[in-house]
Amino acid sequence: METPWVLVTMDGTIVDEHPNFEWVRYAISWVVIEKHLKGIAVEHAKAEVLHRHAHRVVEQRPGDHFTYTRRSRFRLPPSLVSARSR
């Protein structure tokens, strides 16, 4: 793509599952929601996280990997963010 873009995903294993992809060329945002949520509440929670942090997501640069929760953001993939911080 000619313009910068950010991949937003809930799949914390995507980088491991596609090792030949050049992940350092792209910015990745992981959305982490509370584990007790089910059904439509999951979709509402994802939308809330994205709306709350949209201004920060668009500022990400190639090679950035951030995890966003309802309350916080972390400059780490989800596997490195402690469960306590969620």
Instruction: Tell me, yes or no, whether 14 lies in a domain.
Output: yes
Instruction: Tell me, yes or no, whether 56 lies in a domain.
Output: yes
Count up the domains in the chain and report the number.
1
Phi-psi region of 17 (alpha: psi -120 to 50; beta: other; left: phi over 0): alpha
pTM: 0.80
Determine the structural domain holding residue 36 and report its residue range.
6-81
Write out pLDDT tens, residues 10-67: 888 888 899 898 888 889 999 999 999 999 999 999 999 999 999 999 999 998 999 9
Least confident stretch, 3-7, 27-31, 45-49, 77-81: 77-81
Q: Which residues in 32-57 are b (16+ Cβ under 10 Å) and which e? A: bbeeeeeeeeeeebbeebeeebeeeb
| Predicted pLDDT at 84 | 45
pLDDT of residue 69 exceeding 60 = yes
